[in-house]
A and B are shown apart, each in its own frame.
Chain A
Amino acid sequence: MLFWLAVAVASEPADEVVEVKDVGTPASAGEVRVEGDAIDTQPARSADDLMRALPGLQASAHGGRGKAYQYLYRGFDAVHGSDIAVNLDGVPLNEPGNVHGHGYLDLHFLPLRAVGGVVLTPGPGRADVGDHGVAATADFHLGVPDVGGYVGLGGGTDRSGAFSLAWRPEGGDQLVAAEVSGGLGAGEQRGFRLARAAVGGSWSRGVVSWRGWLVAYDGAFQSPGVLRADDVDAEGFYGSYGLPGGGRSSRALVAQRVTVGGTKAQVSVLVWGGLRQLRLDQNFTGWWRDEVGGDATRQTEQRAQGGLRVSGQGVVSTGLLHARLRAGVDLRGDVLTQQQRALSVDGVEGAVSIDADQRYTTAAAWTDAELSFGRWVVVTPGLRAESLQLGLRRRIDDDGAGVAAPTWARSSAPVALPKVGVVVRPHEGVEVVLGYGRGYRSPEARGIEDGQRAPVSLADAVEGGVRVAAGPVSVRTAGFFTAVDNELVFDHLAARFLASGATRRVGVEAGMAVAVHPAVRLEAAVTWADGRYVASRAPVPFAPRWTGQAGVRVDGAEIGPVTLSGGLSARWLGPRPLPQGFVSRHAVAGALTATLSWRSWCFDLMLDNAFFNRWRDGEYVYPSRFDLSRPRSELPVHHLSAGDPTALRLMVGWRW
């Protein structure tokens, strides 16, 4: 590192700041980049929706417009983010130990107009990614794609309104972006309001550059919860039981990065910190457990977090070998306090079932390289060594009684995560991508015992694929296999971990894009992923076996004086295995987005649920009781969370 620092100070200034973010070679054959104006071609209302650009990923929104999505990908049920690591310009966004779900990943805080791009990488093939980087990694880049200012005002048939502004100066990557929106939503109990903003600045002199940014968000939202399938006729597909549901979410993140160096070498220091507050109310079973007060719970959490990344990269060329080397040190710490309480139908808080403080600390050193042997072969070895430290201080015991003198329980574990990738380019436009990587998922601090080694889950993944670009046609296909050594789940009733055994995921995916016009592209992709427990052969519940995507993307088409960008997207979810041998239905969803620019005017049109169908976003099977006049049944029944209702939204904007 010191060597690179010396080289960096002595090196020529770069023409532009080089992000120490990726090594330029795909870490996976399935890697997807959505950057710049291409974001307009994605039907996205928030940054969460951009995750759907990754073929095979199902992002299920069962908690209203403000709760983290549930992610299902390549045979993983990543719940709210436990197996998908997401970063914003190097800052990790997952919330380990979150009161609602480990690795909670709420991207509603990020203004869509402040997203400069996202790189979605399947598998655990990245050395600069640690915890949660098991099924996939997403790197969001903060930036306003278009130079100049923008202000927009709009509304929709979903009884919503929105105000948006963005600004980026010419020749700089400073940014200001803000969004305020709210409304009642289409359907019952789908109201929301949010305000989110991002500001960023940068400065550069000689070999030294600085970039800093701040993102802040506050949102409140309702959630319709779920409907029993046998109540759909009575309540309406977009109906609700009117029980407590929704919450409030706030987050602020700030980061500063100083980079020293130029084209030969760079050293950068990233310091970041954040504050987080979350409240979630939910009742998915009605009065099944408590026929007097109801089954609703209120979960609350407050978190402070911070981290440091010191990294360097350098370039060495000797004849046939061109090497780009990176190394870094990451530190991260989170402290949080969380509670879960019963909540009556009238909104009165009751018995406390969770009351604890947590500490989550990681320290990691990593290195990787991109070794190019001529034009044909690139080898990308990497290694990450990480130390995980967990702390738990419970204020109530397993029986719900207060602990007189709460003390900290501590647990730790070291992990070593090797990676290697090989890219062979036998012909112009043809890439054969092979890779192996190990990722890990930390356990929840809520289950640790003092002095115990933290039981982490390790995932070893191999992937091989081919990417071919021939004129207007590009094709990619990949096969993958992931083995998780032991799936650890936390039994919150018994307050201990359950080791449920090894799992494996195997699958293939194929995608194709055809540019039928310089600005028009047709896309299609299909993924088959089979996730099973090794011993029992039982399928991993909820993870879809088949998914398909198809769409038309228009990126900057000139139609007379009008410029059009947009897309029509269709997603298909095959039947999902549910617990106890149940199976969900197929689901097909469509969305349309179009951005028309005329002179300084800009018209953003979005049609949710473009197929006007009643598709089931989530399906679940369990007993419930939403009608107290009926006897309490223990039979599991199908429940569903409705997909987006059809809604048309228009925003009129002005650029300067």
Chain B
Amino acid sequence: MVTALWLTACLGPGRTLMEVPVSMVSAGEASWTLDDGATIVLDEAAVSFHDLRLSAPPETLAWQWSLIPTAYAHPGHDPAGLTEGELLGTFEVDLLAGVTELGMAQVYDGVYATGRLDLGPGVVSFGGTYTPAGGAARAFRFEELVDRSVTQIPFEHTLEVGVAGTVWVSVDPASVLGAIDWRTPAAGPVLQVSDGLIVNTFPFGVASTRSWSLRWTEP
């Protein structure tokens, strides 16, 4: 009887901590054409960030934590966040170098909704040429220490035990530079963040959730 109870008592397997590879790649090409016919060609695209974290749907966890009766400074009775997957470390990635393997993340099996990462501590730098339709090419180089978090990156996927795959982190250069006002006059031969309004838009483009994406692929 004890054995039967033992077997039937199972609530399910619980959660399994797994390791999954995380790689990074640019979400776009090194050159693209804007709506007005201008073209941008990158010869430099590097980002620095640290600590990628993957989270379960917040409404699910908020609900689950609310089930717990009140106690203070009590083990396990203190809501402690949404993170269920994590790749800790600092990463400096050359987006033009193709695929960069970031390492192995620790993740629990289960439903995920979003991811987040912290930019820095290094700089983000994008450089290349901007060529307006029918005009002359202008060189640009944006380099900035962006001390911001990129949050709520969609990652709607269920990670299952025994299913191999890779978490891909991507940055879309067109989105990073999407808010730049290319008509800004430059003080020198190369357009830089110090040249005007673009100093405001470049960090926002880098830290914009829309510039980043997370996806899961299986071999």
In Å, the complex CA distance between A582 and B15 comes to 5
Instruction: Knowing A489-B66, A583-B13, say if A101 contacts B72 (CB, 8 Å).
Output: yes
A492 touches B72 (CB 8 A): yes
Does A455 make an interface contact (CB < 8 A)?
Answer: no
Produce 1/0 per residue, B60-99, CB < 8 A to A: 0101111111111111111011011110110000000000
B53 touches A100 (CB 8 A): no
In Å, the complex CA distance between A639 and B74 comes to 12
A541 touches B83 (CB 8 A): no
- Residue in B closest to A281 when the chains form the complex, CB atoms: B73
B86 touches A634 (CB 8 A): yes
Chain A residues, CB < 8 A from B6: 574, 586
Instruction: Knowing A536-B63, A622-B78, A639-B76, say if A545 contacts B9 (CB, 8 Å).
Output: yes
In Å, the complex CA distance between A11 and B78 comes to 58
- Residue in A closest to B51 when the chains form the complex, CB atoms: A631
Instruction: Knowing A492-B70, A622-B76, say if A583 contacts B106 (CB, 8 Å).
Output: no
A546 touches B76 (CB 8 A): no
Does A143 make an interface contact (CB < 8 A)?
Answer: no
Instruction: Knowing A77-B69, A489-B68, A538-B63, say if A580 contacts B56 (CB, 8 Å).
Output: yes
Q: Which of B1-40 contact A (CB under 8 A)?
A: 2, 5-6, 8-15, 17
A101 touches B70 (CB 8 A): yes
B66 touches A282 (CB 8 A): no
Chain B residues, CB < 8 A from A100: 71-74
Does B110 make an interface contact (CB < 8 A)?
Answer: yes
Chain A residues, CB < 8 A from B88: 631, 633
B70 touches A545 (CB 8 A): no
B67 touches A79 (CB 8 A): no
In Å, the complex CA distance between A299 and B73 comes to 9
A540 touches B11 (CB 8 A): no
In Å, the complex CA distance between A100 and B53 comes to 32
Which residue of the partner chain, among B5, B56, B71, B83, contacts A526 with CB atoms under 8 Å? B5
Chain B residues, CB < 8 A from A70: 74
In Å, the complex CA distance between A579 and B13 comes to 14
B11 touches A583 (CB 8 A): yes
Produce 1/0 per residue, A74-114, CB < 8 A to B: 00011110100000000000000001111000000000000
B76 touches A542 (CB 8 A): yes
Shortest CB-to-CB span from B110 to chain A, Å, is: 6
In Å, the complex CA distance between A225 and B73 comes to 11
A340 touches B73 (CB 8 A): yes
Does A623 make an interface contact (CB < 8 A)?
Answer: yes
Which residue of the partner chain, among A102, A340, A580, A618, contacts B61 with CB atoms under 8 Å? A580
Produce 1/0 per residue, A572-596, CB < 8 A to B: 1011011111110010000000000
In Å, the complex CA distance between A119 and B73 comes to 32
A639 touches B75 (CB 8 A): yes
In Å, the complex CA distance between A225 and B76 comes to 12
Q: How many chain A residues have a CB neighbour from B under 8 Å?
A: 62
Chain B residues, CB < 8 A from A541: 64, 67-68, 76
A581 touches B14 (CB 8 A): yes
Which residue of the partner chain, among A354, A490, A580, A633, contacts B86 with CB atoms under 8 Å? A633
In Å, the complex CA distance between A620 and B84 comes to 15
Majority secondary structure of chain A interface residues (helix, strand, loop or mixed): loop
- Residue in A closest to B83 when the chains form the complex, CB atoms: A634
B72 touches A80 (CB 8 A): no
Instruction: Knowing A541-B64, A548-B5, say if A79 contacts B71 (CB, 8 Å).
Output: yes
In Å, the complex CA distance between A274 and B176 comes to 67
Produce 1/0 per residue, B95-123, CB < 8 A to A: 00000000000101010000000000000
Shortest CB-to-CB span from B43 to chain A, Å, is: 34
Most buried by A among B8, B73, B78, B108: B73
Does A636 make an interface contact (CB < 8 A)?
Answer: yes
- Residue in B closest to A99 when the chains form the complex, CB atoms: B72
- Residue in B closest to A490 when the chains form the complex, CB atoms: B70
Chain B residues, CB < 8 A from A80: 71
Shortest CB-to-CB span from A165 to chain B, Å, is: 36
- Residue in A closest to B10 when the chains form the complex, CB atoms: A575
Does A62 make an interface contact (CB < 8 A)?
Answer: yes
Instruction: Knowing A102-B70, A536-B63, A574-B9, say if A581 contacts B110 (CB, 8 Å).
Output: yes
Q: Which of A472-519 contact B (CB under 8 A)?
A: 487, 489-490, 492, 498, 500
Shortest CB-to-CB span from A390 to chain B, Å, is: 15
In Å, the complex CA distance between A545 and B12 comes to 12
A487 touches B9 (CB 8 A): no
Which residue of the partner chain, among A101, A297, A636, contacts B71 with CB atoms under 8 Å? A101
Does A226 make an interface contact (CB < 8 A)?
Answer: yes
In Å, the complex CA distance between A176 and B163 comes to 67
Chain A residues, CB < 8 A from B61: 580
In Å, the complex CA distance between A140 and B72 comes to 27
In Å, the complex CA distance between A490 and B79 comes to 12
A444 touches B70 (CB 8 A): yes
In Å, the complex CA distance between A581 and B13 comes to 9
Chain B residues, CB < 8 A from A545: 9, 11
Which residue of the partner chain, among A444, A540, A572, A634, contacts B81 with CB atoms under 8 Å? A634
In Å, the complex CA distance between A237 and B190 comes to 63
Does A210 make an interface contact (CB < 8 A)?
Answer: no
A583 touches B86 (CB 8 A): no
Does A533 make an interface contact (CB < 8 A)?
Answer: yes
Chain A residues, CB < 8 A from B56: 580
Query: Can you name 17 A-B residue pairings with CB atoms under 8 Å?
Result: A70-B74, A79-B74, A101-B71, A354-B72, A487-B69, A498-B66, A536-B63, A541-B67, A541-B76, A572-B5, A577-B11, A578-B76, A583-B11, A583-B13, A622-B75, A623-B80, A623-B83
Binding site for A on B (CB under 8 A): 2, 5-6, 8-15, 17, 51, 53, 56, 61, 63-78, 80-81, 83-86, 88-89, 106, 108, 110
The 7 residue pairs across chains A and B that have the minimum distance between CB atoms: A620-B76, A583-B14, A574-B9, A634-B83, A500-B66, A546-B9, A284-B75
